[in-house]
Chains A and B, each alone.
Chain A
Amino acid sequence: PEAADLRALARHLYEAYLKYFPLTKAKARAILSGKTGDNVPFVIHDMKSLMEGEQFINCSQIPIQEHQQQATVLTAGHGGITEVQMASECGLLETTSISGHGLTDAVELRFFYSCQSRSAEAVREVTEFAKSIPGFTDLDLNDQVTLLKYGVIEVLIIMMAPLMNKDGTLISYGQIFMTREFLKSLRKPFCQMMEPKFEFSVKFNTLELDDSDMALFLAVIILSGDRPGLLNVKPIEQLQETVLHSLELRLKLNHPDSLQLFAKLLQKMTDLRQIVTDHVHFMQLLKKTEVDMCLHPLLQEIMKDLY
C-alpha cells in the first residue's frame, strides 16, 4: 500500500508538471533531435540573426495551443511589466538616445529583458507547481515564500537542462535555438552567464531523467528544509521525505540499470547551489556595470539578500 501511495504521488506531481510547464523535456528533445518535421526552430547564431529573431523572442505574445487558457490569464495579467515596457523605461527602444551604447549593446540588453520577462513568467509556473505539491499550501505562508525564494532559481536551472545540448539552447518555448558560441561571443559579463549552466546541463542530461522523474526532483528541491530563515522546518522535511521515497522508487522502476542514480541526483543539488550563488553574483555585477539596466521587480525580490 505504501508503494501505491508513492506511485500516486509521482503521478500527481507529473500531472501538475504537465499542467504548468509548457515545454516538457519530451517536446524539447524532439525539437532538438529534429523529430518535429517542418517545425524547426529559428537559429540565432550572431547579432544579425538575433535582431531577426527578436519578433519570436517576445514570449508573452506567443500563443501556446496546449496552454491557451493559462496564456489568456497571463496576457490579462501582463498589465504589469513586459520586456517591451522594461526596455522602454530604460530607453532601449530608442537606441540612438543611449549615450555610450551602440545599437549592438542595446540589442544585448533588450535580449536580456526578454530573458528576465520569461524568467518571471517561469517563476509563476514554478509557484503554481509548488502549490500543487500535497501539503505545501498548508505550510506557514512565510515558509512558503522562503522555499520559493531559495528554490526557484535552482528549479529554473534544472528546467533549462532539457532545453540544452552541448551546442546551444532552446528559448522562447522551443521556437528559437540560440547557439552556445553566440552566447559566448556577447560582451562581458553577459558572455559568462550561461556557460556554467551549459556545463551543468550537459552533465545533468547524461542522467537521462524523463519528465516524470523531473517532476519529483523539482518537488524535492522546493521542499528543502535547510533554507535560511525557515520558521517550521519539521513539516517541510516530512513532506520532502515522502517525495524522496517516491523519487527513489520511481528511479528504481524507471531506470533499473542505472546504478546509484538516486544518489547521483541528490549530489546535483549541491552543484546547483553553487551555480545559483554564482548567478546571483553575476546579476549583482550587472547592476553595477550596466547603468541602463532595470531588473524585473519579481526577480529583484527573489535575489535581494539571497546569498
Chain B
Amino acid sequence: LKEKHKILHQLLQNSTSPVDL
C-alpha cells in the first residue's frame, strides 16, 4: 500500500520538511 501511495506516505512521514506537491 505504501508503495502505491508514495506521496501520501511522504506527507504522513514528513512533519515539517517541504513535500513536493
User: Which residues of A line the B interface, CB within 8 A?
Assistant: 73-74, 76-81, 117, 120-121, 123-124, 127, 131, 137, 141-142, 144-146, 148-149, 229, 296-298, 301-302, 304
Contacts and interface: CB of A to CB of B under 8 A. Distances in A.
A61 B19 CA distance: 17
Contacts of A229: 1
Q: Which of B2, B5, B6 has the most CB of A within 10 A?
A: B5
Given A131-B12, A141-B12, A145-B12, A301 B20 contact: no
Contacts of A80: 19-21
A227 B4 CA distance: 17
Given A76-B18, A80-B20, A131-B15, A301 B1 contact: no
Interface size class of B (residues with CB under 8 A): 10 to 19
A79 B19 CA distance: 9
Given A141-B2, A298-B7, A301-B7, A79 B20 contact: yes
A271 B7 CA distance: 28
Nearest to A304: B4
8 contacts: A73-B18, A74-B21, A77-B20, A79-B20, A121-B21, A137-B12, A148-B11, A301-B5
A81 B19 CA distance: 11
A127 B12 contact: yes
B1 to A, nearest CB: 5
Q: Which 5 A-B pairs have the closest CB atoms?
A: A80-B20, A77-B18, A127-B11, A76-B18, A298-B7
Contact of A124 (B2, B9, B11): B11
Contacts of B2: 141-142, 145
A144 B15 CA distance: 14
B21 A301 contact: no
B12 A120 contact: no
Contacts of A296: 21
